[in-house]
Amino acid sequence: QHFRKVTGRSFSVYLNEVRIREAQKLIVAGQRNITEVALDTGYNSLDHFIRQFKAVYGITPKQYQQNCSSSHVHAGAREPGKA
């Protein structure tokens, strides 16, 4: 509860935001495939990673990767934790 008082969110929500933000950076860097990104950011389930990523960015990690490769940066992406 102390964490929630200080940050305004639960630790699990905060941790997910950190992981998804790091995953986004790894996808933009283009050095890893989606499965490697999921594993490298602490997700043991690819399906869970995809659902969490889509909840934040509105598209799947693969779609985000394709957007990045075609335009280098996905202009419509929002930062995790921001409305």
Per run of 10 residues, the mean pLDDT along the chain (length 83 residues) is: 89 94 95 96 97 96 91 52 49
Q: CB-based contacts of 25: which residues, under 8 Å, 6+ apart?
A: none
Which pTM value belongs to this model? 0.78
Six token digits for residue 56: 């934040």
Which helix (H) or strand (E) is 9 found in, with range?
none
Six token digits for residue 76: 């419509």
Q: How many CB atoms lie within 10 A of CB 19?
A: 19
Six token digits for residue 17: 């935001």
Residue 33 CA to residue 14 CA, distance in Å, equals 24
